[in-house]
A and B are shown apart, each in its own frame.
Chain A
Amino acid sequence: MLILENVDAHYGKSHVLHGVSIEVRAGEVVGLLGRNGVGKTTTLKAIMGMARRTGGRITFEGRDLQGVPPHGLAGLGIAWVPEERRIFRLLTVLENLRTGLDRPGVTQARRDGLLEKVYAYFPILKERRNQAGGTLSGGEQQMLAIARAMVLEPKIILLDEPTEGLMPRMVAQIQEIVHALHRDGVAILLVEQNVPLTLDAAGRVYIMEKGAVQHHASAAELRADQRVIHDYLGV
């Protein structure tokens, strides 16, 4: 469904991605592991058209994303949960969700249904629906960021370090959500540093180093042989 072939990317003059190739099939959860600064976030940004791509190809359902403006990706079914969460801080929780709900072609009934669904996953968001996004705690903001992506009814979610800096209880909740999304048939490209979580949630895993994919294996293989993980990630 989502295929990156030999993607190169630059920030200004610095060459950050060197021929990254990744594939995510429909409904599949794919992990992307790597130390800090190896280019995981940049890979997601390249997909979203937010990093300057200087080589290679990115296709989604056979369509080259080159000509698609950044605001067209949501409509194709690609949602992004950024590392910094990027909540609209002055908008209320409900208004944050409305940025994804107020799309053309969404009936009132479907909107209500979608809201019910995310509120069911994240009851705290319902409680805080009229509170400004900026006043939420870190964990709540992460939930809002995921909920906001969910109301877009995407085919794939690009999830960038969702558990970074969260308390264990929250991490468990995020893990549950990832499973739930997977059950719903949503594909996920999960960028993480949390190895156990990734190996638990993902079917396949790519490991990046220095802006390139160095290793690719099924989660089962990696669970069986943790040496690779140790070599690349030092854990």
Chain B
Amino acid sequence: MDQILIQTLHGLVNGMVLAMVASGLTLIFGIMDIVNFAHGDLLMLGAFVGASIVGVTGNYWLALVVAALVIAILGALLQATTLRPLIGRDPLTTILATFGVSLVIQKYALWQWGPSVRQISEPVRGNFTLFHLQYPWYRIATAILAGLIIAGLWLFLKYGKYGIWIRATTQDRVMAQAMGIPVPLVYTAVFAIGSAMAAASGVLFGPFAGVTQTMGFDFTLRAFIVVVVGGMGNLGGSILASIFVSLLESYAAIVVSPAQAVIVSFVVLVLTMLFRPTGLFVPTPK
């Protein structure tokens, strides 16, 4: 019983962080049909930028905002120089391009920051007693903050002028162009927003386990699973799927051996692709 409550909390906390990562990925996929394999690496780069800023200024919140902005600009440049010229070509070329970008970012991080693991110290100290554990308030704060950021994104997409542009472009880019919506710009902006979400997740997650060149890989993989399970390009579905998959992984940690726990999310992925190819939380079209 204790374990179930503890793991529920872990699942929710990790689910919120994953939801932030996945929302960027799904937004980009939904609008551009691009599976961005560099998404996790943008997260990693954001975490490094954040760690550097915390290192210099000691201000976590500044680091969070600046890392998101810096990576947003980088994402915009990346989209404009690398992906925009590939629009209309074989999707394989964009996959290869984002893969190449991913490698370059990892190489760059290793060259720029070296092999040492970096630290982002948590801005919220203290903990409370949860059965046999001391549960850090920072984890709770992370879940809440991630929730707020996702809610902000949702409100922006729902009510903002540019949010409507993004949704219109996602549904029908040709008609969106005819309505005068500058679609190439919308693409770049969405890539920037997705990148900023990734970077912010990196800074939020940094205190959990340190910042390394390879931290992005796990996130790319899990976010990809979640995006498929939630329905490609479906924001709400991805968020639900993030929490669902993270809870499942946490519960799996109690009952099965760790090696099997990793497989749980893949099993969900495969079952979804077999039986609900449009996503777990979307009605299958009749």
In the complex, A touching B (Cβ < 8 A): yes
Q: Would you call B180 and A152 a contact (CB within 8 A)?
A: yes
- C-alpha gap A207/B183 in the complex (Å): 34
> In the complex the two chains form, what is the Cα distance from A50 to B183 in whole Å?
14
Query: Which residues of chain B in 166-181 are interfacial with respect to chain A, using CB atoms and an 8 Å cutoff?
Result: 167-168, 171-172, 174-181
Instruction: Name A48's contact: one of B171, B172, B178, B182 (CB within 8 Å).
Output: B178
Known: A95-B164, A98-B164. A71 touches B177 (CB 8 A): yes
Q: How far is the CB of A166 from chain B (nearest CB, A)?
A: 20
Asked if A99 and B171 sit within 8 Å, CB to CB, the answer is no
In whole Å, how far is A22's beta carbon from the nearest beta carbon of chain B? 19
Q: Is B132 an interface residue (CB 8 A)?
A: no
Q: Find out whether the CB atom of B179 lies under 8 angstroms from the CB atom of A99.
A: yes
Name the interface size band of chain B.
10 to 19
Which residues of the other chain, B, contact A91 by a CB distance below 8 angstroms?
A: 164, 167-168, 171
Contact B174 A102 (CB under 8 A): no
B89 is an interface residue with CB less than 8 A from chain A: no
Best-buried of A71, A74, A91, A103 by chain B (most CB within 10 Å): A71
Cβ of B125 within 8 Å of any chain A Cβ, yes or no, is no
A82 touches B175 (CB 8 A): yes
A75-B180, A91-B168, A152-B180 are contacts. A102–B175 as well, Cβ < 8 Å? no
- Chain B contacts of A102 at CB under 8 A? 161, 164-165
- Contact of A71 (CB < 8 Å), options: B167, B172, B181: B181
Q: Which residue of A lies closest to B171 (CB)?
A: A88
If A82-B175, A88-B175 touch, whether A98 touches B161 (CB-CB below 8 Å) is yes
The docked-state distance in angstroms from the alpha carbon of A100 to that of B164 is 11
* Given A102-B161, A102-B165, A152 and B179 contact (CB-CB distance below 8 Å): yes
A75 to B168, CA, bound (A): 18
The A-contacting residues of B in range 144-198, CB under 8 angstroms, are 161, 164-165, 167-168, 171-172, 174-184
Choose from A69, A73, A86 the contact partner of B175 (Cβ within 8 Å). Answer: A86
Per-residue B-contact encoding for A92-120, CB less than 8 Å = 1, 0 else: 00011011101100000000000000000
What separation, in Å, do the CA atoms of A102 and B177 have in the docked complex? 14
Which residues of B lie under 8 Å from residue A69 when comparing CB positions? Answer: 177, 184
- The smallest C-beta distance from B164 to any residue of chain A, in angstroms, reads 5
Interface majority SS on B: helix, strand, loop or mixed? helix
Residues of A within 8 A of B167 (CB): 88, 90-91, 95
Contact in complex: B179, A90 (CB < 8 Å): no
Size range of the interface on A? 20 to 34
Q: Report which of B174, B181, B182, B184 forms a contact with A99, defined as CB distance below 8 A.
A: B181
User: Of B164, B174, B183, which one neighbours A86 at CB under 8 angstroms?
Assistant: B174
Contact status A99-B183, CB under 8 Å: no
Which of B165, B174, B176, B182 is A50 in contact with, Cβ under 8 Å?
A: B174
Task: Report A124 CB to chain B, min CB distance, Å.
Answer: 21
A3 to chain B, nearest CB (A): 20
How far apart sit A95 and B169, CA to CA, in the bound complex (Å)?
12
Q: What is the CA–CA distance of A162 and B22 in the complex, to the nearest angstrom?
A: 41
Q: How far is the CA of A152 from the CA of B175 in the complex (A)?
A: 13
In the bound complex, CA of A96 to CA of B167 (Å): 10
Q: Which residue of A lies closest to B162 (CB)?
A: A102
Contacts of A74 in B (CB 8 A): 178-180
B161 close to A86 (CB less than 8 A): no
Give bound CA distance, A108 to B179, whole Å: 19
Enumerate chain B residues within 8 angstroms of A79, measured Cβ to Cβ.
Answer: 178
Chain A residues in 8 Å Cβ range of B180: 71-75, 100, 103, 152
Q: Is the CB of A71 within 8 A of B164?
A: no
B177 to chain A: which residues have CB within 8 Å? 69-71
**A91-B164, A91-B168 provided; 7 other pairs, C-beta below 8 A?**
A48-B178, A69-B184, A71-B181, A71-B184, A72-B180, A82-B178, A100-B179
Considering the complex of A and B, which 4 residue pairs feature the smallest CB-CB distances, nearest first?
A74-B180, A70-B177, A86-B175, A102-B161
Q: Which residues of A contact B (CB under 8 A)?
A: 48, 50, 69-75, 79-80, 82, 86, 88-91, 95-96, 98-100, 102-103, 148, 152
